[in-house]
Structures are given as C-alpha cells and as structure tokens.
A and B are shown apart, each in its own frame.
Chain A
Amino acid sequence: MRYIRPQSMEDAVGLLAGAAGPAAILAGGSDLLVRMKGGFVEPELIVDIKAIAGLSDITETADGFRIGAAVPCAVLGENAALKKAWPGVVEAAKLIGSKQVQGRCTIVGNLCNASPAADSVPALVAAGAKAVVAGPGGKRTIAVESVPTGPGKTSLAKGEIIEAILLDKRPPHAGDAYQRFIPRTEMDIAVVSAGVNLTVGDNGVVKAARVAVGAAAPTVLLVEEAAQVLIGSKLDEATLERLAKICSGACRPIDDKRGTIEFRRKVAGVLAKRVAAIAYERAGGK
C-alpha cells in the first residue's frame, strides 16, 4: 500500500487518475480508516489531501462562503460568520461523532462516503450548497445532492476530487436548521433526519424554502412538495401538519437494525416540523 501526501491539486488528480489498483482519497479518515480496519476496502494507493494549498481554508467571498475540502468540522464551528449565516449547516457538521471525530472529519468526506444517514448532507442539500470538483478534465461545479447516487456510491469519476463546498451569501431574514433522531444523546448514526432552509419576507411569510430528509431513502431526499407547502405560509399549525405528512410520505425507508419503516416515516415528519419552526425563528419569522 502506498500513502502519498501531495502538495498540489494537479498532483493529487494525476496520482488518482493514473492509479492501476484501488485508490482512495483521505481527508479526515474517520470513514476510510474505519472501513480499512474492518477489511471492507483495501486500497493500494491512499492520497491524503490535507497538505494541498487552500484546502484547509474557509473563505468569505462576495458570493458567500467557500469551505475547503480538508477543513475539519470543528473549524466550521469556530467560524463566527459562517455560523451566523448558516447555523443549520454548522449544527449538522457539529453533530458528527464526538469532539475527537470532529477534530478530523470533513463535510466533503461526509458527502463522499455517501451514507444515506450522513448528518451534514441534508443540511447542505437544504442550503442549496454546491461542490467544486477538480478532475483530469478540469473543474466543474455541481449541486451537492448530485454527488451521492446510492449507499456508498458517488457520481465522481476516476481521478476526481471535490475541492470545496460553496454556500451562497445570505439574504436578510433567512435561516436554516437540522435535527436527527438518535436513540442516544451522541456517538450515534441518524435513524432519520431533516434539514430546512427558509427565507422570510418582511410580513413574516415564507418566500423561499428547501426541505431535505435524511436516512429515509438510498440518498438524501430533497422534498420539493414540502417546500411548496411552506412557501406563502407563516408556518401555522396546519401548515406544519401538512409538512409532516408530506415528509413522512416522501420517505422510502427500510427496516433495519436502527429503526423500522413506520418509525422512520413518522419521525421524519416530526423532525421536519421541528426544524422548520427553528429555521423560521432563526429567519426572524414569528
């Protein structure tokens, strides 16, 4: 097994594109190393991206935020501007594992591990985040929801690396929120989860919304119909009930060791209601 820590994106892409056997990108390693230890993957080449210039920075641009692929989740929580603009994304990233895990793990790793239960992904999808992908054929920017295609699978081609996540600049009166259901208080994997991102007009009426549900289908669900219900409302009781019903209905969950189909359906709706209310309040709606 070869471990290489390239200094530039070109070298990293070149190494991956030229690899003959199985190769893996190493960010925080909190998924990759666990999978290697369990014998599920045996890469011949490991490309550590943490030494690549610029990948460990969060930069605030005219368009919003650019979060480098090697930024650990703990650092997201220490960035006051990001926290203020995207509290839901940050709270999702800060739910991953524990303090120790957050010191290593990245939201890009979370996205590319392609677990349906990944915590930061519903929040990123609700936020309308984009991924900058570098590869042998150059760079492209894609919506985050197009990265995972099924459990453990992504749309990335051989040699492609996600360089950064982009989050839009916030309009006034916007807020997002994320919650997951776990039986314990921490160190657990979401049984089901929901993220909501809202923009509210001066009159308290929702102008724009995105609703995402996690761990309820092979990939995170962007529930358009749920967003439509919220838009034009002031999140009254009846709206929230409809939201819950639509989210429950959108789920295509399975029965497994973490929960039942019925449980996931029901709780997806409950969480959607709860996070919508939090996002609304964060957006300044009352």
Chain B
Amino acid sequence: MNFDPRYSGRSFTSVGTRPIRPDGVDKVTGRARYGADFNMAGQLVGRILRSPHAHAIIRKIDTSKAEKLAGVKAVITAKDLPDLTDGDAAMYDILDNSMARTKALYDGHAVAAVAAIDARTARQALKLIEVDYEVLPHVTDVDEAMKHSAPLINDAIFTEGLEEKPVKPSNVTKRTQYGHGDVHQGFGEADFVVERSFKTEQTHQGYIEPHACVASVNPDGTADLWVCTQGHFVYRQHCAQLLGLEASKLRVTSSEIGGGFGGKTHVWAEPVALALSRKAGRPVKLVMTRDEVFRASGPTSATSIDVKIGAKKDGTITAAEATLRYSCGPYAGMWAEIGAMTAFACYKLENVKTVGYEVLVNRPKTAAYRAPSAPMAAFAVESAVDELAKEIGIDPVDFRIKNAAQEGTRASYGPVYGPIGIGPTLEAVKNHPHMKAPLGTNQGRGMACGFWFNFGGQTCTDLNIGMDGSVSLAVGTVDVGGSRASLSLVAAEELGIDYAHVKAIVADTSSLGYNDMTDGSRGTFSSSMATISAARNAIKILRERAAQMWDISVDDVAWEKGHAVAKGEKHGNLGKLSLKEIAAESGKTGGPIAGHSELVADGAGVSFATHICDIEVDPETGSTRVLRYTVVQDAGKAVHPTYVEGQYQGGAAQGIGWALNEEYIYGKDGRLQNPGFLDYRIPVCSDLPMIDTQILEIPNPNHPYGVRGVGETSIVPPLAAIANAVSNAVGVRMSHIPMSPPRILAALEAERERFSR
C-alpha cells in the first residue's frame, strides 16, 4: 500500500458541508428496501420454535406431526446444522445459539424451525412439534451466578486467568486484569477515599427493524442471502462456515438497516434460514417477531461493579480500582474485559487496577451494544468521581480537568495516548452556557465523561468514473448513519468535483473484497481512508489519460480542483482538462477509469466525550424528566456535521433510555416478562428534550483528514451524567440502573425514613 494515511492539515471544499443523503428520499417515501422488503419467487415462510424454559436438557424432539401438515416444506432441528466448526469455540457458540444442540440455555433459545407455504401454516406447524424437556435449575442474576451454589450452565467451563488452575467448573469463564502502579500504596497516600458498589440491568439495542432475511440455497452449492446486517462479509463467513458452503459461492446482499447498534454484528436466524432453504429446496424468508428479537437477540450485559478511588486534598487522584462483573448470556464473552479496559481511560493515573469477571447466566447471548461494556463502567466510575469531588469539596468539572489524561499519558489499559480530546471536552463543558443556566426546585445538573477505543480494520472500496464524468463509489461497510453521504463528500473532495456527481452504494459480497463490519465506529473512518486512496489511484489514471490527450509526460500533469493541469513553462498554452472531459475520451485513451483500494485502516483515534444533563425529579412519585442535555465530543474532523450530530444525539437518547427505564425483567421462572416495546421502555419522542451538541475537532494524526470514529462514544457518559443529575436533584445517590420511578421513590423513602428516625 503506497498510501500515506497521515494527517495533512489541508483545507476542505466539500468535507464539512451538509448535503442531503443519497438514501434520504427513498427512506422518507417508504421506497427503501429493508430486510423484510425483499421477496423471491416461490419463497416459503420460515419460523422458529423457541424454548419456554430458561435452562433445560432437550431429551427428544418429535417433528413427525409437523412434517405431515399440508403446506410444510421443511422442519429442522440441530441435526440439520451439523457441527462443522472444527474446534473453533466461538463459532461453536454461534452455532449452538442459532439452534440449541443438547440444552436450551435461555428462554427464547431456538430448538427447531419450519418452512411452510404461509405464516399460518408455519405457526400451526410449530405447535405440532413436540419437545421433551428436562427442566434444570437456572440463574439469571450476575451476582447470583457467581456464587458457588449457583446452577452450573456449562460444566466444561473452568475459569481462565486465575493464578491457580481451578479444579471445579464455574459460571465465571474468565478473569482479566488491567492497570499499572501500586494501588495499595496509592490509597495510602490519599486523604479521601470513596468506595461504592453499583448495578446495571440488561438492555437491548432496541433497533426498530427486527432481524429479517431471505435465504436461497441452490442445488449446485451456490446460495444467496439478502439480509439486514451491519456486516454482510462477516455474515457470509459465519454462514458459509456453519453451513459448509464455500464463502465465494454465498453471495450476501445487505439491505437498508433500521438500526443495529451492534446487535446486527452477529448471526442468529440467518444460518437457520439457509438450512431451511437447503432442506426445502426453495427460498425461505425469515423475519423475527419483536418478541423473538427481545428474547433471543441482542442484549448487552447486566453488571455489578465495585469502585474505589482515592485522592489528595488538592484533588489529585492517587489510586483507582474497580472490580467488574458482566453477564455474557450462556456463552463465554469478553465483556467485563472491555469494561475493565475502559473504566478509567479518561484519567491520568499513577496507580490503577481493574479486574473483570465474565459471568454465564441463563439469558440470551450478550451482543455488542454501541461502545459495548463502556457505559456501565463509566456509570460506576463517574458516579464515584462525583462523590469523591463532593467529599473533597472541589467542583466536579475542575476535579476531572485536574486528573484528565493528556497526550503522553499512559492509558489505564496500556497504550500511551497521542493527541486526545478529554481535556478539551471538559474545558468546553466548563465554559458552556448550559453549566451556568439556573435550576429550579427538584432539579439537578450532572455531568460525566466517556471514552471509546474506535476501530479501523479491513476495508476495500471501488471508485468508477462513468463516461459522463459522474462517479460511482462502491463500499463494503454497511451505512448505519449516513456514511454514503460522508463518503461521497470525501470522494468529491479528493477528486475536486461536486458532491452531486458522486453516488455511493454498499456493494454485495461478490462485488468487492472483504470488509470488516460496521462496528467500532469504523464505517466512515476506515471507508473514507479507502475512498481517499481509491480516488488518488483514479487521479493517477486521470493524469495519465490527460498526458496522453496532450501527448506530454505524465510527470508534467498535476491534478487541481477537479482538473488536469499541465505544469511547466513549455505547457503554458495547454489550458486545463476537466474530469468530465477526460472521462468522455476514456474509450479512446485506454478504457474505463477506476480507482481501487484495499487496506487495513490502522490508527483509529481514540474518542472522548463529556455530557451535561439537567433533570427534574417528582419527589412524590420518583418520576423524572430530562430538561436539558448537551453533548460535547471530539470528532477529529466532522465530514458531514449533521450526521455527526445525529450520532451524538442518538447515543445520548439511547443512554437516557438505559439510565431511566430500559431493562430486561425476568420472572422467578427465568422467563423474560417484557419482550416488547410496551414494557421495555425506550424513550418516545416526547420524553426527550432537543439534545444540544458541540463538535470539537482534534485531528487524528493517523487519517489524512484527521477523522475519528464518532458513532459509539456518545452512549458512554449518559448513565453517569443522569445518575449524577438525579443525585444532585434529590440528594440521594442512585446506584442501580435503570433509575426507574419505583427505584427512585424507594430510595427517597428510605432516605426520609433515615432522617425521621
């Protein structure tokens, strides 16, 4: 790769403007095609039978009655998805999660599936499948699951990462530790120490579009999958491996996506749809119901976290420590580890130690949710930081500024930071009018910081110039938030043409090289890098063609503002050739003009944000209302500021829902009580104020335009910012998320009791 990704400090014409997105009209007119909008001739309806038990051995499944029902074309169980994972434990878990093999591990775990001529027949067929379960004791709470007396979910699991190899199996799959210095000594130097425990409940990403796909397996071993996903190349790999197909013969096309937030980085129903199609010999459409989405896909970890922080009278933190327990569902994960890495990433610490425990529970397999694991860790840490500031008697913003990480700080998770935005976001918050606005009775203000790593990864783009001079850009990162507009701006910028002449699409897996999925806030960061590189490759060809047209050396041709320009005195009378003019002649100068790029986008700049929240609490009912909310975040460079703001607002909105009302509620029977949007309460429009944003631009040195990922960090501070606001409004520290009205009222009543005693 002879591509220089370093930040160049250039000025921009297109980048930084706010044109309309190419997918906008289709979306607002209902023409856009989402996962369930694709149909094939002869397609069947697929449906999945799910376990009603949280934990049960599957003794026997009798599908004979269902198979005999008229209109049923295929019935499958785990037998139809033989284990081809060849010792790959993570893939085996995905396989087992797609279709339970010997045990149902959570309420909603798939145990069988049917394909029938219509939905009614499919539903009837499910009722005819007889499953003989042996119900086992279950555990859904993360702290309960760690106890020695807890039911074991997988007796082949022995905790990894312990000094001594354990002799007994456990629900704790792994212990990890991060940090440096000596916390014991650090706490010894502290004048004030705050030690607190926190809990957060499990939440779902809450994407409005359910998982949906159409699968078609052909007799010749080729297959097609049309699917709503954040990463069609990853889905291809996984499905091909699980089904025993050759990756190149499985063509996966991603649909428009009605939200994913990490939940569509993982296959659930897709291997089942392919297996049904293979058995039935016809295409199968499989769309999850909302109930299935909640019970069987998505959720983030529930957590239990202890934090201890010590500081000197002058506000210098001397030591920080945290123990983080994260639920993983019934399969091993690295969720607590990520929490342990991010917990103290905002601060410059001499002595820091974090320990993570990955805990198995009888709940659906934990999936990534926007900056996965970071919001809960930030909730615990930022709540304790506020408490400590209060004890010292120092302003919470000043306290954080004093201890903020800087360029050259060794991060608590290991690396040394380059130029970063935590200090600037804190300074911006300190000077923001929001911080000075008056508050009324029962109102409180809170603020908190957040960090996310960001990711780069494998990326491949194609840029094709038509003979009319228009440009089509094919990218392989699914557009989850306006990236087609942003990437078109980047292509326009680099080529020196107008945005209106660029059209970006997300290409299918047979049209482009492998791309990692749209996760880790990488879509615009990595694909813009590849787009810049592809455009530069195209410019090289444009210059060659111009040189041919002029019959001069290509070394004398420069590319300026969308034109080939002949350099040097002897070419003074040649004028300029526009991209359009060169493209029009391309048939005669060597054929089509294109630029291609494949790269690993290294150097995704880390991202920081600081949020401010005003909240009003009704002390008689515990009801809350978010009055005002401000997000300040570093974007590196905002390619399309409107969509950057959209990411800031979206993360804050999701964080507000998580902080106040969203939670998985399990009954004593281990069944999910609220698998629907009525009782799983994401905020509705009228629950939210307009969320203000302030974009800071501290260039990422590892991207030509200075771009950093912006998608995830915005969900990290809200839990803590809101908890701090509630605490400031009512004088009671809320240590359990969500801060639903019953929890707030109970905390207030307990406090009143304490005072009246």
Q: Mark B600-630, 1 if CB is under 8 A from A, else 0.
A: 0000000000000000000011110000000
Do B123 and A39 have beta carbons less than 8 Å apart?
A: yes
Question: Given the complex, which residues of B lie within 8 Å of A263, measured CB to CB?
Answer: 622, 741-742, 745-746
With A267-B621, A270-B620 in contact, is A184–B687 under 8 Å at CB? yes
Do A183 and B746 have beta carbons less than 8 Å apart?
A: no
Partner of B673, one of A186, A187, A256, A260: A256
Q: Which residue of A lies closest to B672 (CB)?
A: A257
Q: Which of B415-423, B444-452, B536-544, B676-684 contacts A (4 or more CB under 8 A)?
A: B676-684
Question: Given the complex, which residues of B lie within 8 Å of A183, measured CB to CB?
Answer: 623, 660-661, 681, 740-741
The reply on A11 being an interface residue by CB < 8 A is: no
Do A184 and B740 have beta carbons less than 8 Å apart?
A: no
Do B746 and A187 have beta carbons less than 8 Å apart?
A: no
Q: Which residue of B lies closest to A266 (CB)?
A: B745
Measured CA separation A267–B665 after assembly (Å):
21
With A183-B660, A267-B621 in contact, is A262–B665 under 8 Å at CB? no
Measured CA separation A189–B740 after assembly (Å):
15
The reply on A232 being an interface residue by CB < 8 A is: no
Q: In the complex, how many residues of chain B place their beta carbon closer than 8 angstroms to a beta carbon of chain A? A: 24
Q: Is the interface of B mostly helix, strand, loop or mixed?
A: loop
User: Which residues of B659-681 have CB atoms within 8 Å of chain A's CB atoms?
Assistant: 660-661, 665, 673-674, 678-679, 681
Question: Given the complex, which residues of A lie within 8 Å of B665, measured CB to CB?
Answer: 257
Measured CA separation A38–B687 after assembly (Å):
27
Do B742 and A185 have beta carbons less than 8 Å apart?
A: no
The reply on B407 being an interface residue by CB < 8 A is: no
Partner of B674, one of A191, A257, A260, A270: A257
Question: Given the complex, which residues of A lie within 8 Å of B678, measured CB to CB?
Answer: 187-189
The reply on A204 being an interface residue by CB < 8 A is: no
Do A259 and B742 have beta carbons less than 8 Å apart?
A: yes
Partner of B623, one of A38, A181, A266: A181
Do A257 and B741 have beta carbons less than 8 Å apart?
A: no
Question: Given the complex, which residues of B lie within 8 Å of A186, measured CB to CB?
Answer: 684, 686
Measured CA separation A20–B629 after assembly (Å):
59
The reply on A258 being an interface residue by CB < 8 A is: yes
Question: Given the complex, which residues of A lie within 8 Å of B620, measured CB to CB?
Answer: 266-267, 270
Question: Given the complex, which residues of A lie within 8 Å of B660, measured CB to CB?
Answer: 183
**Minimum CB–CB distance for B113 against chain A, Å:** 17
Measured CA separation A62–B291 after assembly (Å):
50
The reply on B749 being an interface residue by CB < 8 A is: yes
Question: Given the complex, which residues of B lie within 8 Å of A259, measured CB to CB?
Answer: 741-742
Question: Given the complex, which residues of B lie within 8 Å of A262, measured CB to CB?
Answer: 742, 746, 749
Q: Which residue of B lies closest to A256 (CB)?
A: B673
Measured CA separation A177–B567 after assembly (Å):
82
Measured CA separation A184–B665 after assembly (Å):
17
Do A185 and B684 have beta carbons less than 8 Å apart?
A: yes
Measured CA separation A23–B281 after assembly (Å):
39
Q: Is the interface of A mostly helix, strand, loop or mixed?
A: loop
Question: Given the complex, which residues of A lie within 8 Å of B683, measured CB to CB?
Answer: 184
Q: Mark A243-274, 1 if CB is under 8 A from B, else 0.
A: 00000000000001111101100110010000
Q: Mark B730-743, 1 if CB is under 8 A from A, else 0.
A: 00000000001110
Question: Given the complex, which residues of B lie within 8 Å of A39, measured CB to CB?
Answer: 123
Q: Mark B645-662, 1 if CB is under 8 A from A, else 0.
A: 000000000000000110
Measured CA separation A189–B665 after assembly (Å):
16
Q: Which residue of B lies closest to A191 (CB)?
A: B741
Q: Which residue of B lies closest to A185 (CB)?
A: B686
Do A266 and B679 have beta carbons less than 8 Å apart?
A: no
Measured CA separation A191–B622 after assembly (Å):
13
Interface centre among B621, B623, B678 (most CB of A within 10 A): B621
Question: Given the complex, which residues of A lie within 8 Å of B673, measured CB to CB?
Answer: 256-257
**Minimum CB–CB distance for B675 against chain A, Å:** 10
User: Which residues of A152-169 have CB atoms within 8 Å of chain B's CB atoms?
Assistant: none
User: Which residues of B461-512 have CB atoms within 8 Å of chain A's CB atoms?
Assistant: none
Q: Which residue of A lies closest to B663 (CB)?
A: A257
Question: Given the complex, which residues of A lie within 8 Å of B123, measured CB to CB?
Answer: 39
Do B684 and A184 have beta carbons less than 8 Å apart?
A: yes
Q: Which residue of B lies closest to A271 (CB)?
A: B621
Measured CA separation A150–B622 after assembly (Å):
29
With A184-B661, A267-B621 in contact, is A260–B742 under 8 Å at CB? yes
**Minimum CB–CB distance for A87 against chain B, Å:** 22
Q: Mark A160-202, 1 if CB is under 8 A from B, else 0.
A: 0000000000000000000001011111110100000000000
Do A187 and B684 have beta carbons less than 8 Å apart?
A: yes
Measured CA separation A249–B314 after assembly (Å):
53
Do A258 and B621 have beta carbons less than 8 Å apart?
A: no
Interface centre among A39, A183, A186, A270 (most CB of B within 10 A): A183
**Minimum CB–CB distance for B677 against chain A, Å:** 8
Do A181 and B681 have beta carbons less than 8 Å apart?
A: no
Do B621 and A184 have beta carbons less than 8 Å apart?
A: no
Question: Given the complex, which residues of B lie within 8 Å of A187, measured CB to CB?
Answer: 678, 684
Q: Which residue of B lies closest to A38 (CB)?
A: B291
Q: Which residue of A lies closest to B679 (CB)?
A: A257
**Minimum CB–CB distance for A96 against chain B, Å:** 13
Measured CA separation A256–B673 after assembly (Å):
9
Question: Given the complex, which residues of B lie within 8 Å of A256, measured CB to CB?
Answer: 673
**Minimum CB–CB distance for B671 against chain A, Å:** 11
Partner of B621, one of A38, A257, A270: A270
**Minimum CB–CB distance for B295 against chain A, Å:** 14
Partner of B741, one of A38, A181, A185, A189: A181
Question: Given the complex, which residues of B lie within 8 Å of A38, measured CB to CB?
Answer: 291
Measured CA separation A270–B741 after assembly (Å):
14
Measured CA separation A191–B742 after assembly (Å):
10
Measured CA separation A270–B623 after assembly (Å):
12
Measured CA separation A256–B661 after assembly (Å):
14
**Minimum CB–CB distance for B661 against chain A, Å:** 5
Measured CA separation A259–B673 after assembly (Å):
13
Measured CA separation A186–B685 after assembly (Å):
9
Q: Which residue of B lies closest to A98 (CB)?
A: B684
**Minimum CB–CB distance for B80 against chain A, Å:** 25
Do A258 and B679 have beta carbons less than 8 Å apart?
A: yes
Question: Given the complex, which residues of B lie within 8 Å of A270, measured CB to CB?
Answer: 620-621
Measured CA separation A181–B746 after assembly (Å):
16
Measured CA separation A186–B687 after assembly (Å):
8
User: Which residues of B44-72 have CB atoms within 8 Å of chain A's CB atoms?
Assistant: none
Question: Given the complex, which residues of A lie within 8 Å of B740, measured CB to CB?
Answer: 183
Measured CA separation A243–B674 after assembly (Å):
33
Measured CA separation A260–B746 after assembly (Å):
10
**Minimum CB–CB distance for B419 against chain A, Å:** 41
Measured CA separation A184–B626 after assembly (Å):
11
Q: Which residue of A lies closest to B674 (CB)?
A: A257
Do A185 and B621 have beta carbons less than 8 Å apart?
A: no
**Minimum CB–CB distance for A230 against chain B, Å:** 19
Question: Given the complex, which residues of B lie within 8 Å of A189, measured CB to CB?
Answer: 678-679
Partner of A266, one of B661, B681, B684, B749: B749
Interface centre among A186, A191, A259, A266 (most CB of B within 10 A): A266
Measured CA separation A39–B122 after assembly (Å):
13
Question: Given the complex, which residues of A lie within 8 Å of B741, measured CB to CB?
Answer: 181, 183, 191, 259, 263, 267
Q: Which residue of A lies closest to B625 (CB)?
A: A185
Q: Which residue of A lies closest to B746 (CB)?
A: A262
Measured CA separation A181–B740 after assembly (Å):
12
Measured CA separation A266–B623 after assembly (Å):
13
Measured CA separation A191–B686 after assembly (Å):
19
Measured CA separation A256–B667 after assembly (Å):
9
Question: Given the complex, which residues of A lie within 8 Å of B622, measured CB to CB?
Answer: 263
15 extra interface residue pairs, beta carbon distance < 8 Å, beyond A183-B623, A263-B622, A266-B749: A183-B661, A184-B661, A184-B683, A184-B684, A184-B686, A185-B686, A185-B687, A188-B678, A257-B665, A259-B742, A260-B742, A260-B746, A262-B742, A262-B746, A262-B749
Chain A residues engaging chain B, CB cutoff 8 angstroms: 38-39, 181, 183-189, 191, 256-260, 262-263, 266-267, 270
Question: What are 13 inter-chain pairs, A to B, with CB distance below 8 A?
Answer: A181-B623, A183-B623, A183-B661, A184-B661, A184-B681, A184-B684, A184-B687, A186-B686, A189-B678, A257-B674, A259-B741, A260-B742, A266-B620
> Shortest 4 CB-CB distances between A and B: which pairs?
A263-B742, A185-B686, A257-B673, A270-B620
